[in-house]
């Protein structure tokens, strides 16, 4: 991506991420999900989201392995929180909540551009296309493929229950001072109480 804006006109369009990236957003969860729920994800490359207790997590596929960093602190319900996560090939994964470091995983390695094919995936043309494209790009929900059914015991679409504002993806790892500064810029004006 060479411009400041990326037009996403479908789940197969996604920002091209190289070896370093920063995800940031303002979120105001109304309820915690019953399991991990994405703020933003590209299924076969990265996941940045919220768990059932309000912790923020980042999972990325680096050097043929999934790596995960989870915040030590939680985001509150019904309040705006600024969340950010960085992937730096030299420093690892870092999560920030309201400008403060909330989690870190020291690793090194290359951000995978795609997950290797599994033997049973090669025959499924749709899934092979997904894999080759890096997976579907989603904001505010997980894309779990489920077979058709009249009823479901659990939600078919795991959507974020709350508000997401100012979602940004940078093609580099912002440093701590840049993330701290982001918490003072573009603060959402919508009052939740």
**C-alpha to C-alpha distances, 184 to 10, 103, 167, 176, 177, nearest whole angstrom:** 31, 21, 15, 13, 11
The Cα–Cα gap between 28 and 192 comes to 8
Domains, the chain, with CATH or none: 21-145+155-182 (2.60.120.200)
The average pLDDT across 23-48 equals: 87
pTM of the model: 0.77
Residues 100-142 have pLDDT tens digits of: 999 999 988 776 655 444 444 444 433 444 443 456 667 776 6
């Amino acid at each position: 991506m060479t411009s400041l804006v990326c037009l996403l006109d479908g789940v197969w369009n996604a920002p091209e991420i190289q070896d370093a990236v920063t995800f940031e957003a303002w979120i105001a969860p109304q309820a915690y999900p019953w399991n991990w729920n994405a703020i933003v994800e590209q299924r076969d490359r990265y996941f940045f989201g919220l768990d059932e207790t309000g912790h923020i997590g980042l999972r990325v596929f680096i050097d043929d392995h999934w790596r995960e960093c989870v915040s030590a602190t939680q985001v509150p319900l019904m309040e705006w929180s600024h969340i950010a996560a960085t992937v730096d090939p030299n420093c690892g994964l870092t999560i920030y909540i309201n400008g403060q470091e909330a989690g870190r995983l020291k690793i090194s390695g290359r951000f995978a551009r795609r997950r290797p094919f599994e033997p049973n995936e090669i025959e499924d043309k749709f899934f092979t296309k997904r894999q080759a494209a890096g997976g579907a790009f989603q904001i505010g929900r997980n894309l779990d493929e489920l077979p058709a059914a009249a009823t479901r015991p659990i939600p078919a679409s795991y959507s974020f229950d709350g508000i997401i504002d100012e979602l940004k993806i940078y093609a580099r790892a912002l440093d701590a001072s840049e993330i701290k500064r982001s918490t003072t810029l573009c603060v959402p004006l919508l009052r939740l109480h």
